[in-house]
């Protein structure tokens, strides 16, 4: 469960949440939302059961759309 997203700060943002079981959080990015939307995997983070915090870089792009998936 994602509890909050903060940022951007210095080109990155932080995602905080709680996981029921250990797993992975996959962050995907698209440059626009015009169909067909192309989502690109930019980062995968292993998270423990319990609270977690991960930092995601926005890169140099002025606009980006992000999606999180649990594995």
Sheet of 23-30, strand order: 40-47, 23-30, 65-70
In which band, very low, low, confident or very high, does the pLDDT at 3 lie, cut at 50, 70 and 90?
A: confident
What would you report as the CA-atom Rg of the chain, rounded to the nearest whole angstrom?
A: 13
Which tens digit of pLDDT belongs to each residue from 44-62?
999 999 999 999 887 766 6
Give the pLDDT score at 62.
65
At 16 the three-state DSSP class reads: strand
Q: What share of the chain is helix, strand, coil (3-state, %, to 5)?
A: 0, 65, 35
In which band, very low, low, confident or very high, does the pLDDT at 39 lie, cut at 50, 70 and 90?
A: very high
Token duo for residue 63:
């606009």
Which tens digit of pLDDT belongs to each residue from 11-20?
788 889 998 9
Token duo for residue 32:
């626009």
């Amino acid at each position: 469960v994602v509890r909050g997203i903060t940022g951007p700060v210095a080109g990155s943002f932080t995602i905080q949440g709680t996981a029921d079981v250990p797993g992975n959080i996959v962050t995907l990015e698209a440059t626009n939302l015009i169909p067909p939307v192309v989502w690109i995997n930019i980062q995968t983070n292993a998270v423990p059961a319990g609270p977690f915090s991960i930092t995601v870089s926005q890169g140099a792009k002025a606009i980006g759309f992000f999606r999180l998936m649990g594995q």
